[in-house]
Amino acid sequence: MSESEDAQGSEFIPSPEFLARQKRVMDAIQLKQPDRIPLILGMGYKLAEMGGITKQALYDNPDQAQELLEQAAALYQPDMIFGAWHTPEPSKALGDRMTKWPGYGLDANGSFQFNEQEFMKADDYDDFLEDPSDWAVRVYLPRAFRELEGLAMLPPFGMSLFGYYNVVQNYATLTLPPVVSALQAMSQAAQAQAEWLGQIIASNQRMAELGFPPMPFLAVFIEAPFDFMSDTLRGMRGIFLDMMRQPDKLLAAQEKVLRIQLKFAIAATRAIGSPYVFIPLHRGSDGFMSLKQFEKFYWPQLKEMMLQLIEAGITPWAYYEGVWDQRLPYLAELPPGKTMGSFQDSDIFKVKEIVGDTMCIMGGMPIPLLVGGTPEQVREHTQKVCQVVGKDGGFIMTSSVLELEGCNPELIKVWVEATQEYGGY
C-alpha cells in the first residue's frame, strides 16, 4: 500500500507518527542515523497468549487476531509490528507433508513446525537438472502434498506442450479423477491464499491508519541455493551425503535453483511494488559445515544471489539463523548499504564491529533474556546494545527471533521503554 492510496483506492493521508516511524526505519536500512533507534516487534504467538486463546484460534479468527495486534501496538508503541506468520489453510487444502500447524498436525496450542523430509532422492538429480519444472510437477509435488498425488499420472511435459496434436491429445489426462482432484486442491489452496492476502492488506491498512507502517520486508521469500536444496528437497542427511558423494551435481543443481529463484524474486517484487526479498538462512551457520565447505557450497551461491538482487534494485534481508561469528568477514564483502541482516545468536557486538559499515543490522535482544531475565538485566543489556551496536545508525532493534511466544510481557515493556530511552541520537 502506498502512502497516498489504501486497499480500496481511497486517499490515505499518513499521520505524523506514521511518517516518523517509517523514516526512522528507512534511515536505518540506508545506514543513516535516524532520530532514534527504530524498534520492530514480531509478536507471533504472543498475541494468542495476550488474548488467552489457542494458537489455532489466532489463525481461525483473523478479526480477533487483528484486535490483539492493535492492542499490542497500543501497549508497546513500536515503529513496526506484525503478528503470527502466514496461514495453515493452503497447507490443509494441499495435504502438505512439509509443515505442521496448530490444529493441523499439531494440537491447538502447538507451534508451527517444518517437517523436513527427503522429497528428492539421490538418483533424482539427472531428471531435476534436465527439466526442473517437469520433475517438480510430476515427482516432487505428488511426494510433498497428499492431495497432489494425482499429478504423477501426467505425461512427461516435453513435447506434450508443443504442437497442436501433442497438446490436444495429452489434454485427455486432465480428465482422470486423480488429476482432477489434484487440480481442485490447487484451486482451493489458491483461494485460501488469496483470502489471506486480502486479510493482510486490510490489516496493513488498519495499522497504517493507527500510525504504524506495515512491514514491507516479508512479501517475497526465497532461500539460499544450498538451503533450498536441503530444506525443500534433499533434507539435511541427504544434502550432506551429496556434498561427499556427488558434489558436482549438487553444485549444478544449486546453479539451476539460483536462476529460478532470482527470476521469481525479481518478477514478484516488481509485481507488488516492494523492493525487498526475505532470505532466511538455515544451514550456513558456524555449526553446520566447515569454512572450506562454506566457501564451496554456500557462500558463492548466496553472494551471487544477493548481488544479482541488488543489481535489480532489490534489497535482500537475510536472517542469519544460529551463530555466524566465523562467517562475518565474508558478509563484509557485500556492497555497503545494500542489504539488511537479522542475527539470531551471533555476538551482536562482533557483528557491529565487522559488518556495521556494510549492512543494516537487526537484532540485539536475546529471547532467553525476555523469558527468564530480570528487569535490571534487560535494561542494562538494552542500554549497551543501543550505545554500541546503535552507534552512528544503521541498526534496528528487534528480538533475536522475530517471535515473542513465551516472553514475559513486563520484560518486553522494559525492553521497549529502555530502547526508546537509550536509543536517541
Are 389 and 423 within 8 A, CB to CB? no
- Low-confidence stretches of the chain (pLDDT < 70) are 1-10
Q: How far apart are CA 4 and CA 418, in angstroms?
A: 33
Name the one residue in this structure whose C-alpha cell is 502512502.
Answer: 3
Give the angle subtended at the CA of 396 by the CAs of 387 and 196, to the nearest 5°. 160
Tell me the whole-structure pTM to 2 decimals. Answer: 0.93
Beta bridge partners of 395: 361
Distances (CA, A) of 256 to 94, 246, 249: 26, 16, 10
Cell output for 162: 508443443
Name the one residue in this structure whose C-alpha cell is 545494500.
Answer: 338
Residues 6+ apart with CB under 8 A from 374: none
Are 40 and 79 within 8 A, CB to CB? yes
Which CATH entry fits the domain spanning 16-422: 3.20.20.210, 1.20.120.80, 3.40.50.720, 3.50.50.60? 3.20.20.210
End-to-end CA distance of the chain: 30
Are 222 and 265 within 8 A, CB to CB? yes
Residue in 157, 154, 160 with CA at minimum distance from that of residue 178: 154
The four Cα atoms 380, 30, 322, 347 give a dihedral, to 10 degrees, of: -40
Are 95 and 147 within 8 A, CB to CB? yes
Q: Which secondary structure element, helix H or strand E, spans residue 29, and what is its range?
A: helix 16-29
Cβ atoms < 10 Å from Cβ of 200 = 20
Type of residue numbered 32: K
What single string gives the DSSP state of each residue in 217-265? SSSSB---HHHIIIIIIIHHHHHHHHHHH-HHHHHHHHHHHHHHHHHHH
Q: How far apart are CA 52 and CA 195, in angstroms?
A: 25
Q: How far apart are CA 65 and CA 71, in angstroms?
A: 10
Cell output for 193: 491464499
Phi, psi of 235 (to 5 degrees): 80, 165
Name the one residue in this structure whose C-alpha cell is 493452503.
Answer: 90
Name the one residue in this structure whose C-alpha cell is 490444529.
Answer: 103
Are 220 and 278 within 8 A, CB to CB? yes
Q: How far apart are CA 46 and CA 52, in angstroms?
A: 10
Q: What is the pLDDT of residue 2?
A: 44
Residue in 103, 72, 85, 99 with CA at minimum distance from that of residue 45: 85
User: At 100, is the secondary structure helix, strand, or coil?
Assistant: strand
Q: What is the pLDDT of residue 9?
A: 54
Are 219 and 92 within 8 A, CB to CB? no
Residue ranges covered by each domain of the chain: 16-422
